Amino acid sequence: PTKLRVSQALSGAELGSNIKVQGWVRSVRAQKANVFLHVNDGSSLQSLQVVASSELSDPLLTFGSAVEVTGILKKSPHQKQPVELDAKQINVVGECNPSDMALSIFANFLISGAEQMLLDNGFVEINTPIITSNDCEGAGELFQVEPSGPDYADGENFFSVPAYLTVSGQLHLEVVSGAFSKVYTFGPTFRAENSQSRRHLAEFYMVEAEISFTQSLEDLTKVMEDMFRFATEHVLAHCVEDVDLFHKHVTPGHREYLVSFLRITYREAIDILRRSSERFAFPTDWGCDLKTEHEKYLVKHCGNIPVFVTDYPYDLKPFYARDNQDHPERTAAAVDLLVPGVGELCGGSLREERLNLLSARLEEAGLEDVYSWYLDLRRFGSVPHGGFGLGFERYLQCILGVDNIKDVVPFPRFSHSCLL
């Protein structure tokens, strides 16, 4: 056979001759007797239609796979294309797992659903910086940013202060929420957690929202629940085929996420854990952080639906969380959303808007100078406000029922792994 580029084949110059084309499958349509492919090799925007009898079909012949097709170039009976290739032989030279494709399309619809809900409700999208000097979560799990190259050979610091890849856009959102009232961001965040768990990445995406004039955790959890529900319905409406592809992994009751969510306090969560006969690896005393095993147990206990856990011990939450001064135990107005299969999907809180309380807490931590600009937000036009962050890869994990977070992103980053 004569080897031809797809553009040459499409020009019809070799009609009637035995040719071979190499390219990638752009569509596959199987009928009873025949299978129809469109093959593109980058030489033309158009694809070459290939008609093959069903015996030549192959389960590896999927969208994106690389193929070599040999056959006779013929005039096409259809008006849309001038020629078609009557295949005598098809070799799949490179496989392409279609579920990767399905996943990316699914991810697209999930985020567009979440963003549509926010935009419909008057949120303004803000791009928060990726390089920052703050450690919003105060956990010290930062990647430091250093310049490299001949100008910086003597270790000079580019920004004059230590700079890091952001762990959260929250503090920047708090600044702009003072002008726009309702803001959100969708972007990458980075954490140097030395964890090999099935729900941690070193680089992950977050949808973060911040809302001025938020007076209570009820106000906040309503937005979280509405966003989850809208985005989930949106993706299920648009991606049924992609969801079906995952069905063998998907937890059967995934549509139950659309029922009303449950709310319990941290105190109630601790009581449930302490009453259970389950043997946990980590302690369940008041004041202990909830671990993955606890979160998964709580979700199951509550009927495998999303659960808000509210009012965590004050000392467990970062400096920005609002003090619940009227509670008998010292708690903060913070909330986590726990979901089936994953545990924590969102973290949020009311922010401490009272200058005296916030400055006392920052002083205690020795951070009042670093965060003097943050205290200024409480000096000039301070309002009750709150917000949350939703881990996008965990959202995919939860809806698709994927066990390991590394399987929902094309290029996962985690400790000892930064290929490509």
For residues 352 and 361, is the Cβ–Cβ distance under 8 A? yes
To Mg ion, the closest distance from the beta carbon of 257 in angstroms equals: 20
Please report, as residue ranges, which positions from 325 to 344 form the binding site for ligand 4AD (by CB under 6 A): 344
To ligand 4AD, the closest distance from the beta carbon of 344 in angstroms equals: 5
Q: How far apart are CA 393 and CA 359, in angstroms?
A: 35
Q: Toward ligand 4AD, which CB reaches closer, 111 or 206?
A: 206
Indicate whether 295 belongs to the interface with ligand 4AD (CB under 6 A).
Answer: no
Of residues 176, 235, 210, the one with CA closest to residue 348: 210
The tokens for 306 are: 């999303």
Q: Which does 412 bind (CB under 5 to 8 A by kind): Mg ion, ligand 4AD, none?
A: none
To Mg ion, the closest distance from the beta carbon of 317 in angstroms equals: 9
- Alpha-helical (H) ranges within 338-404 are 355-364, 372-379, 392-400
Q: Toward ligand 4AD, which CB reaches closer, 73 or 206?
A: 206
Strand 48-53, strand 66-75: pairing: unpaired
- Alpha-helical (H) ranges within 121-211 are 170-180
- Tell me the angle at which helices 217-238 and 98-120 cross, rounded to the nearest 10 degrees: 140
Q: Toward ligand 4AD, which CB reaches closer, 21 or 266?
A: 266
Which listed residue (87, 136, 224, 307) binds ligand 4AD by CB under 6 A?
136
Binding mask 346-385 for ligand 4AD (x = CB under 6 A): xxx-------------------------------------
Which listed residue (23, 113, 313, 347) binds Mg ion by CB under 5 A?
347
Please report, as residue ranges, which positions from 218 to 257 form the binding site for ligand 4AD (by CB under 6 A): none
The tokens for 106 are: 């699914």
Which listed residue (41, 115, 135, 137) binds ligand 4AD by CB under 6 A?
137
Which listed residue (38, 172, 182, 200) binds ligand 4AD by CB under 6 A?
200
Q: Which does 193 bind (CB under 5 to 8 A by kind): Mg ion, ligand 4AD, none?
A: ligand 4AD
- Which range of residues in 203-211, 236-244, 255-263, 280-288 is near ligand 4AD by CB under 6 A? 203-211
Indicate whether 348 belongs to the interface with Mg ion (CB under 5 A).
Answer: no
The tokens for 122 are: 């008057």
Indicate whether 322 belongs to the interface with ligand 4AD (CB under 6 A).
Answer: no
The tokens for 277 are: 């006969």
What is the number of other CB atoms lying within 10 angstroms of the CB of residue 150? 5
The tokens for 413 are: 């980053």
What is the number of other CB atoms lying within 10 angstroms of the CB of residue 70? 16
Indicate whether 391 belongs to the interface with ligand 4AD (CB under 6 A).
Answer: yes
Which listed residue (186, 246, 314, 388) binds ligand 4AD by CB under 6 A?
388
Q: Which does 388 bind (CB under 5 to 8 A by kind): ligand 4AD, Mg ion, none?
A: ligand 4AD
Enter the DSSP assignment of 40.
Answer: E
Whose structure tokens read 């002083």? Answer: 363
In this structure, the dihedral spanned by the alpha carbons of residues 27, 30, 31 and 34, taken in order and rounded to 10 degrees, is 90
- Alpha-helical (H) ranges within 12-70 are none
Indicate whether 389 belongs to the interface with Mg ion (CB under 5 A).
Answer: no
Give the number of C-alpha atoms closer than 13 A to the C-alpha of residue 264, restricted to the C-beta side: 17
Q: Which does 311 bind (CB under 5 to 8 A by kind): Mg ion, ligand 4AD, none?
A: none
- Which range of residues in 24-32, 88-96, 347-355, 403-411 is near Mg ion by CB under 5 A? 347-355
Amino acid at 388: F
What's phi and psi for 63, nearest 5 deg? -50, 130
Q: Following DSSP, what letter does each residue of 69-124 receive, concatenated? A: EEEEEEE-SSSS-SEEEEEEEEEEEE---HHHHHHHHHHHHHHHHHHHHHHHTT-E
Q: Which does 340 bind (CB under 5 to 8 A by kind): Mg ion, ligand 4AD, none?
A: none
Q: Toward ligand 4AD, which CB reaches closer, 71 or 164?
A: 164
Q: Toward Mg ion, which CB reaches closer, 23 or 313?
A: 313
Q: Toward Mg ion, which CB reaches closer, 340 or 347?
A: 347
Question: What burial class does residue 325 get, using C-beta atoms within 10 Å of its C-beta: 0-12 exposed, 13-18 middle, 19+ buried?
Answer: exposed
Q: How far apart are CA 318 and CA 348, in angstroms?
A: 11
| Number of chain positions touching Mg ion (CB under 5 A) | 1
- Which range of residues in 55-63, 197-205, 344-352, 399-407 is near Mg ion by CB under 5 A? 344-352
What is the number of other CB atoms lying within 10 angstroms of the CB of residue 275? 10
Residues near Mg ion, by CB under 5 A = 347
Q: What residues line the site for ligand 4AD (CB under 6 A)?
A: 136-137, 168, 170, 191, 193, 200-201, 204, 206, 208, 344-348, 387-389, 391, 393-394
